[in-house]
A and B are shown apart, each in its own frame.
Chain A
Amino acid sequence: MALHLLRDYQTQDLITGNRRWIFAYLLTIFLRRVLVYSYVGDTNFPINPVGTLLIATGDTTPTGATPTFPAGTRAGINLGLGKEFYVSIPVSVRTVSGADVGRILALKSTANPTFNSGLFIIAGFDTVTNSYIVDYRTLGDKPPVEAADSINWYLYEKDVSCPTQGAVNNKPSGSYFGDGTSTTPRIILQSPHALGWQVRICNETSTDVSQNGGTGAGTCPTTSVSPGFGGNVSGDFPTFGQHFHAPMWNNSNLIAYLGGAPGMSDNAGAGIQYRVTAVGDDTGQSVVMYMRRQGDATSPSSSILVFGFPNNEPTPLPVNNTARLFCIGGGYSGGSGNGMNDGGLYASTQASAQGTIGGNAFAQGMTQTPFGVPAMVAASFWTYVTGVGQQGGPHFDGSAGDNPFISATELLPLDLVQATVTGWNTSNNATPVYPLAPRAMGTIPLVFQGRTNFGEFSPSTDPGRAFQHLRRGLYIPWNGPSFVP
Chain B
Amino acid sequence: MGLHFVRGLIYPNPNSGGLGIVWRFKWMYEMWGFAINGNADAINPGGFAQVIFPTNFTGGVNLLASGSDGYHNATNPAQVSGDCDFFTQSSAPFTPSMVGKAITIWVPGSGSSQDSVYLISRVVSGNHLVFNCTTGGTPDPTTKHPSMIFRTGVYYRVNDMYAATNAGFVQNNFGSSLVFNVNGALINPGQGNAQGFSQIQFSTWHSNQGFVFNNPSWEDVQVTFGGSGQWNGSTTSITNATNTTPITVTTGANHNLLSGQTVTIVGVGGNWGANGTFNVAVTSATQFTLTGSVGQAAYTSGGTVYNGFPSDGYSGITVFSMTSNAAYSAGQTCVNLIGDPTMLICHLREQDLFQSNKRGAFYFEVPSRLYPGNSDLHPMACLVESINTGSLYTSSTNASYGGGWFMRTHASDATPLRLHRTLVKAFRGDGTPDVFGQNLSNYQVGYNTTTGTVPESNGVLCLPGVANQYCLARAQLRSCIFTGTHIPSYHRIGTNGQFIQIQNGICWPWDNTIQPQQLLFFGSG
Report which A residues bind B (CB closer than 8 A). Answer: 346-349, 351, 357, 360, 362, 369-371, 376-378, 380-395, 397, 399-406, 410, 412, 415, 417, 419-422, 426, 436-440, 450-451
Alpha-carbon separation in the docked complex, A402 to B371 (Å):
13
Nearest first, the 5 A-B pairs at minimum CB distance are A389-B433, A386-B437, A390-B426, A394-B464, A421-B429
- Is there contact, CB below 8 Å, between B396 and A437? no
Question: Are B473 and A381 in contact, with the CB atoms below 8 A?
Answer: no
Query: Are B473's CB and A405's CB within 8 A?
Result: no
> Nearest residue in B to A376 (C-beta to C-beta)?
B429
Residue from A351, A370, A417 within 8 A of B427 (CB atoms): A417
- Partner-contacting stretch, out of B220-228, B294-302, B442-450: B442-450
Query: Looking at the complex, which one of A378, A393, A395 makes contact with B428 (CB distance below 8 Å)?
Result: A378
Name 15 A/B residue pairs within 8 A (Cβ), A-sorted: A348-B430, A377-B429, A380-B428, A382-B423, A383-B423, A383-B426, A383-B435, A384-B423, A386-B398, A390-B426, A405-B375, A406-B372, A420-B430, A440-B425, A440-B427
B465 and A397 contact, CB distance less than 8 A: yes
What's the Cα separation between A58 and B413 when bound, in Å?
61
Contact B398 A415 (CB under 8 A): no
A118 to chain B, nearest CB (A): 31
Main secondary structure of the interface of A (DSSP, over half): loop
A389 to chain B: closest CB distance in Å? Answer: 4
Separation in Å of the B283 CB from the closest CB of chain A? 31
Q: Which of A360, A389, A391 contacts B434 (CB 8 A)?
A: A389
Cβ B424 vs Cβ A401 within 8 A: no
Given contacts A386-B398, A387-B398, 10 further A-B contacts (CB under 8 A): A384-B435, A385-B482, A389-B434, A401-B470, A403-B470, A404-B410, A406-B372, A406-B375, A421-B429, A436-B446
Contact status A417-B395, CB under 8 Å: no
B455 CB to closest chain A CB, in angstroms? Answer: 5
Contact A389 B431, beta carbon cutoff 8 Å:
yes
Given A387-B433, A420-B429, A370 and B450 contact (CB-CB distance below 8 Å): yes
Q: Which residue of B lies closest to A438 (CB)?
A: B455
Contacts of B447 on A, CB cut-off 8 Å? Answer: 438
Please provide the chain B residues from 154 to 208 with a CB less than 8 Å away from any CB of chain A in the complex.
none
Q: Say which residue of B433, B444, B445, B453 sits within 8 Å of A388 (CB atoms).
A: B433
User: Assuming the A-B contacts A386-B437, A397-B465, are A439 and B448 also in contact, with contact meaning beta carbons closer than 8 angstroms in the complex?
Assistant: yes
- Complex partner residue of B451 from A370, A388, A390, A412, CB under 8 angstroms: A370
Please name all residues of chain A whose beta carbon is closer than 8 Å to the beta carbon of B472 when the two chains form the complex.
Answer: 382, 394-395, 400, 403, 410, 412, 450-451
Residue in B431, B438, B453, B473 whose beta carbon sits within 8 Å of that of A410 in the complex: B473
Question: Please, how many angstroms separate the alpha-carbon atoms of A415 and B444 in the complex?
Answer: 17
Q: Contacts A384-B421, A389-B428, A401-B470; is A437 near B433 (CB within 8 Å)?
A: no
Q: Is the CB of B433 within 8 A of A385?
A: no
A380 with B425: CB separation less than 8 A: yes
- Please, how many angstroms separate the alpha-carbon atoms of A450 and B429 in the complex? 20
Chain B interface extent, by class = 35 or more
The CA of A450 and the CA of B425, in the complex, are separated in Å by 14
A360 to B431, CA, bound (A): 10
* Assembled-state Cα–Cα distance A440/B450 (Å): 14
Cβ contacts under 8 Å, A399 to chain B: 464-467, 470
- The reply on B401 being an interface residue by CB < 8 A is yes
* B421 and A385 form a contact (CB under 8 A): yes
Which of A400, A405, A415 has the largest number of chain B CB atoms within 10 A? A405
User: Whole-angstrom distance from the CB of A275 to the nearest CB of chain B?
Assistant: 27
Residues of A within 8 A of B465 (CB): 397, 399
Which chain B positions have C-beta within 8 A of A346? 431
Residues of B near A385 (CB, < 8 A) are 394-396, 421-424, 435-437, 459, 482
Q: How far is B412's CA from A405's CA once the two chains are assembled, in angstroms?
A: 10
Q: How far is the CB of B395 from chain A (nearest CB, A)?
A: 5
Contact of A389 with B395 at beta-carbon distance under 8 Å, contacts A380-B425, A412-B472, A439-B453 already known: no
Of the candidates B393, B396, B423, B450, the one whose C-beta lies within 8 Å of that of A393 is: B423
Among A362, A376, A403, residue most surrounded by chain B Cβ atoms (within 10 Å)? A403
Nearest-CB distance from B422 to chain A (Å)?
A: 4
Asked if residues A406 and B428 are in contact (CB atoms below 8 Å), the reply is: no
- Closest Cβ of chain B: how far from A401's Cβ, in Å? 5
Contacts of A348 in B (CB 8 A): 430-431
B residues less than 8 Å from A347 (CB atoms) = 428-431
**Separation in Å of the A249 CB from the closest CB of chain B?**
19
User: When the two chains form their complex, are residues A404 and B412 in contact, meaning their CB atoms are under 8 A apart?
Assistant: yes
Q: How far is the CB of B420 from chain A (nearest CB, A)?
A: 10
Q: Give the distance to chain B from A212, nearest Cβ to Cβ, in Å.
A: 20
User: For the complex, what is the distance from the CA of A371 to the CA of B431, rounded to whole Å?
Assistant: 26
Residues of B within 8 A of A391 (CB): 431
User: What's the Cα separation between A422 and B446 when bound, in Å?
Assistant: 13
Q: Is the interface of B mostly helix, strand, loop or mixed?
A: loop
Asked if B467 and A401 make an inter-chain contact with CB atoms under 8 angstroms apart, the answer reads: yes
A415 to B426, CA, bound (A): 9
**Residues of A close to B464: CB separation below 8 A:** 394, 397, 399-400
Contact A386 B401 (CB under 8 A): yes
Q: If A389-B433, A390-B428 touch, does A384 touch B446 (CB 8 Å cutoff)?
A: no
Query: Bound complex: CA of A436 vs CA of B453, how far in Å?
Result: 12
Do A369 and B450 touch across chains, with their CB atoms under 8 A apart?
Answer: yes
Report whether A381 and B426 are in contact in the complex, using a CB–CB cutoff of 8 Å.
yes
The contact string, 1 if C-beta is below 8 Å from chain A, for chain B 400-418, is 0100000000101100000
CB distance from A453 to the nearest CB of B (A): 10
Q: A387-B398, A389-B426, A421-B430 are in contact. Are A451 and B470 (CB under 8 A)?
A: yes
Contact across chains for B448 and A349 when beta carbons are under 8 A apart = no
Give Cα distance in the complex from A436 to B443, angstroms: 9
How many whole Å from B320's CB to the nearest CB in chain A?
Answer: 19
B460 within 8 A of A: yes
| B194 CB → nearest A CB, Å | 23
Interface 1/0s, chain B 79-100, versus A by CB < 8 A? 0000000000000000000000
CB distance from B454 to the nearest CB of A (A): 7
A378 neighbours in B (Cβ, 8 Å)? 428-429
CA of A351 to CA of B396, assembled, Å: 29
A347–B429 CA distance with the chains assembled, in angstroms: 6
Q: How far is the CB of A211 from chain B (nearest CB, A)?
A: 23
Residue of A nearest to B447 (CB): A438
Which residue, B396, B398, B421, B426, has most C-beta atoms of chain A within 10 A?
Answer: B426
Q: Are A420 and B428 in contact (CB under 8 A)?
A: yes
A389: chain B residues at CB < 8 Å are 426, 428, 431-435
Nearest Cβ in chain A — how far from B494, in angstroms? 12
In the assembled complex, the CB of B122 is this many whole angstroms from the nearest CB of chain A, namely: 44
Question: Considering the chains assembled together, what is the distance between the CA atoms of A386 and B506 in angstroms?
Answer: 12
Complex CA distance for A437 and B395, rounded to whole angstroms: 28
> Nearest CB to that of B505 among chain A residues?
A385
Q: Assess the A387–B430 pair: CB atoms within 8 A.
A: no
Q: Which residue of B lies closest to A407 (CB)?
A: B375
Q: Are A384 and B448 in contact (CB under 8 A)?
A: no
**CA of A346 to CA of B430, assembled, Å:** 8
Complex interface: chain A residues within 8 A of B393 (CB)? 386
B119 contacts the other chain (CB 8 A): no
| Distance A349 CA – B465 CA, assembled complex (angstroms) | 30
A393 to B396, CA, bound (A): 12
B110 touches A (CB below 8 Å) = no
Judging by beta carbons under 8 Å apart, are A380 and B375 in contact? no
Chain B, 101-123, CB within 8 A of any chain A CB: none
B455–A410 touching, CB < 8 Å: no
Would you give the shortest CB distance from A442 to chain B, in whole angstroms?
Answer: 12
Q: In whole angstroms, what is the CA distance A412 to B458 when docked?
A: 14
B376 contacts partner chain A, Cβ-Cβ < 8 Å: yes
* CA gap between A165 and B398 in the complex, in Å: 53
Give chain B nearest CB distance to A90 CB in angstroms.
49
B215, CB-defined interface residue at 8 Å: no
0/1 string, B320-352, CB within 8 A of A gives 1:
000000000000000000000000000000000
Whether B376 contacts A405 by the Cβ 8 Å rule is: yes
Query: Is B469 positioned at the interface, with any CB of A under 8 Å from its CB?
Result: yes
Of the listed residues B401, B421, B439, the one surrounded by the most CB atoms of chain A closer than 10 A to its CB is: B421
Is residue B51 contacting chain A, with contact meaning CB distance below 8 A? no
Complex alpha-carbon distance, A376 and B444, angstroms: 12
B471 within 8 A of A: yes
